[in-house]
Amino acid sequence: MFTCNSLILLNFTYYLKLLLGFCMTIIPFITLEILVIKIIRCKIKDIKIDKNFIKKFIKKEGKLVFKVFILFIAAFSLNNILNNKDNKCYMYAKKEIISEYKTSYNALKETNLSNSVKEKYLENVLVIAYSNYNNVNKNNSVESKEKDNTENSKVQKIKNEIKVEDNIMKETDTTKYNSVYVQNGTFYYPKYNANNKSTYTGMYCPTNPLKEGYNNPYGYNNYFYIRLTNMVEDAKKNGYKITISTQGCRSYQTQVNYYYSMEKGRAISPGHSMHGLGIASDLEFYNQNGSVCPYGRTDTSCPSMGWAHKNAYKYGLTFNLLYASYREDWHVEPINSKTY
Ligand SMILES: [Zn+2]
């Protein structure tokens, strides 16, 4: 899917949107004004407005009206074509979102993260900024705290946060856990071949992780587990309770069972789940009173989840199914993973 992760593209789309809006509103409006003024002028000059006058007027001004009408139709159609759910660029091309993107972009420039990590980071900034933009518009309340911040202090703040991520991104040990290894902060996993199930490492989920060199008893990839615990611990410091699932590695057979027992589209086909590689987790979010946030929750009704969704990227994590056709607000993966 086209994500529009570029300042140039975002700005271009923003101005294109402005231009189309201009063609659909201001230009027809001004044209109408001009025509009305012309008619009023004729009245002042005491020119009779009769059938003859209207004929002459249409003949004289018809071309202009026709041109403006064509411009309107063209702009209207183009706007409709561009304004669809799959065109993220059009969705994101909003002043507030671009400004947040720019701040993060400038903050990232001076870090030594790899380009692909920066890209992923910025992609997350877009998703979060868009979701914040919609929430703010829905609730009609702007976080005044953010408003007072100068651009410079915002860049500094983000830079400090990235340092947290920078530490996580230092994972350059290429030791494989479940055939997944990490290099420069990117998780590399084997490509699944449906005809050769042995390429799916989930078949070899460790039976006794702690005895097999894992840093956790659940079978999570060691590096992924570090990211998870970093986030969960910081959540705790902020007063939020979040727990990770105890199923750190899902076997191929378990995924087969899920796939055939759940409704269609709910569980991904066996071999393709990041759970099988130990690099995905399903989180449990808690309310202040200690109860689990029930389904149907939102970032506002369940603050611990809201906090996680907003801050996950700082720990090198992403809730990549938040906007999937089957929304999973609990599913978390590394921010950057690639096949090898
Ligand atoms: Zn999941």
Cα–ligand 1 centroid distance for 124 (angstroms): 19
* Same domain flag for 316 and 186: yes
**What does the pLDDT read at residue 52?**
84
Average pLDDT (7-24) is 93
* Same domain flag for 81 and 126: no
Residue 334, pLDDT > 50, answer yes
Position 169 in a domain: no
The secondary element (H helix, E strand) that includes residue 116 is helix 115-139
Q: In this predicted model, which residue has the larger pLDDT, 142 or 114?
A: 114
Cα–ligand 1 centroid distance for 133 (angstroms): 26
Average pLDDT (70-90) is 90
Boundary (domain end) residue, out of 25, 57, 87: 87
Cα–ligand 1 centroid distance for 149 (angstroms): 37
Cα–ligand 1 centroid distance for 283 (angstroms): 8
Position 300 in a domain: yes
* Same domain flag for 209 and 256: yes
pLDDT range class, residue 303, cuts 50, 70, 90: very high
Residue 8, pLDDT > 80, answer yes
Percent share of the chain, pLDDT over 90 = 35
Number of domains observed in the structure of the chain: 3
Cα–ligand 1 centroid distance for 281 (angstroms): 6
Cα–ligand 1 centroid distance for 320 (angstroms): 10
Residue 295, pLDDT > 50, answer yes
Average pLDDT (93-115) is 83
* Same domain flag for 328 and 199: yes
* Same domain flag for 129 and 251: no
* Same domain flag for 64 and 110: no
Cα–ligand 1 centroid distance for 54 (angstroms): 69
Average pLDDT (24-52) is 87
Cα–ligand 1 centroid distance for 56 (angstroms): 71
Which of 4-13, 57-66, 136-145 comes out lowest in average pLDDT? 136-145
pLDDT range class, residue 138, cuts 50, 70, 90: low
Boundary (domain end) residue, out of 36, 70, 87: 87
Cα–ligand 1 centroid distance for 268 (angstroms): 10
Residue 299: name the closest of 327, 275, 325 by CA.
327
Residue 335: name the closest of 234, 212, 213, 230 by CA.
230
Which of 44-53, 199-208, 280-289 comes out lowest in average pLDDT? 199-208
Average pLDDT, the chain: 84
Cα–ligand 1 centroid distance for 273 (angstroms): 8
**What does the pLDDT read at residue 61?**
86
* Same domain flag for 186 and 333: yes
Instruction: State how beta strands 337-339 and 331-334 pair.
Output: unpaired
Average pLDDT (197-209) is 74
Residue 162, pLDDT > 50, answer yes
Residue 129, pLDDT > 70, answer yes
Boundary (domain end) residue, out of 87, 110, 132: 87
**What does the pLDDT read at residue 108?**
78
The residue segments making up the domain with residue 237 are 181-339
**What does the pLDDT read at residue 142?**
44
- Evaluated on CA atoms 130, 136, 139, 145, the torsion sign reads positive
**What does the pLDDT read at residue 143?**
45
Distance in angstroms (rounded) separating the CA atoms of residues 84 and 93: 13
Cα–ligand 1 centroid distance for 47 (angstroms): 76
Percent share of the chain, pLDDT over 70 = 88
Cα–ligand 1 centroid distance for 331 (angstroms): 4
Cα–ligand 1 centroid distance for 218 (angstroms): 15
